């Protein structure tokens, strides 16, 4: 009887160790933030700079720019999708090691990528035009395909004209 108890206890301790080892891996995987796919590169982009009001430190030294944070937001103006790139510069004082950065601009949806223009278009399409939720997406997809096709036609046309000359 004692032998079976010892065997059971040792087996249970092995299972507990395995669970603890797997639990640590799961905790690390949960802490990783999910990566959102980047917005398509063919969309036109517009930079919106956000810099601190003063780039001089309190100690009298001029601050130096050491980098920037970029957040991309999807915007919609009638017929055109665009990307707003919010660029916030990082400034540091070499003397006192003080880091200064402009505050994050307010978002319509926290941690979301739509701008007010895109949300307004969705609301108008759904509630004013009485379109079902999927219909605006289909309209946008066809306009997106048309704009990409137009850009390809222009490239082909330009290539033909350069070879003629």
pLDDT at position 96, please? 87
- Across the range 138-160, mean pLDDT stands at 56
Instruction: Put residue 111 in one of left, alpha, beta given phi > 0 → left and psi -120 to 50 → alpha.
Output: left
Q: For residue 160, give the 3-state DSSP assignment.
A: helix
pLDDT confidence bin for 164, thresholds 50/70/90: low
The end-to-end CA distance of the chain, in Å, is 98
pLDDT tens digits, 88-145: 999 999 888 888 998 888 888 888 888 888 888 878 777 776 666 665 555 555 555 5
State the pLDDT confidence band at 19, using cuts at 50, 70 and 90.
Answer: confident
CA separation for the pair 113, 83 (Å, rounded): 9
Q: What is the pLDDT of residue 157?
A: 56
Q: What are the residue boundaries of the structural domains of the chain, listed by start?
A: 45-153
C-alpha atoms less than 13 angstroms from C-alpha of 20 in its C-beta half-sphere:
6
Q: What are phi and psi of 59, to 5 degrees?
A: -80, -5
User: Is 0.75 surpassed by the pTM of this model?
Assistant: no
- pLDDT tens-digit readout, 44-96: 999 999 998 888 888 888 899 999 999 999 998 877 889 999 999 999 998 88
Do residues 47 and 85 make contact, with C-beta atoms less than 8 angstroms apart?
yes
Indicate if the alpha-carbon torsion angle 128, 130, 132, 136 is positive or negative.
negative
């Amino acid at each position: 009887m004692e032998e079976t108890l010892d065997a059971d206890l040792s087996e249970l301790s092995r299972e507990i160790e395995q669970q603890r080892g797997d639990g640590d891996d799961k905790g690390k995987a949960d802490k990783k933030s999910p990566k959102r796919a980047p917005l398509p590169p063919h969309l036109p982009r517009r930079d919106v700079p956000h810099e601190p009001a003063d780039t001089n430190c309190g100690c009298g030294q001029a601050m130096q720019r050491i980098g920037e944070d970029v957040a991309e937001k999807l915007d919609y103006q009638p017929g055109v999708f665009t990307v707003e790139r919010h660029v916030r510069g990082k400034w540091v004082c070499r003397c006192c090691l003080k880091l200064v950065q402009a505050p994050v601009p307010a978002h319509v949806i926290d941690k979301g990528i739509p701008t007010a223009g895109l949300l307004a278009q969705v609301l108008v399409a759904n509630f004013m035009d009485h379109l079902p939720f999927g219909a605006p997406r289909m309209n946008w997809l066809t306009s997106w395909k048309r704009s990409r096709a137009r850009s390809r036609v222009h490239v082909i046309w330009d290539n033909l004209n350069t070879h003629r000359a």
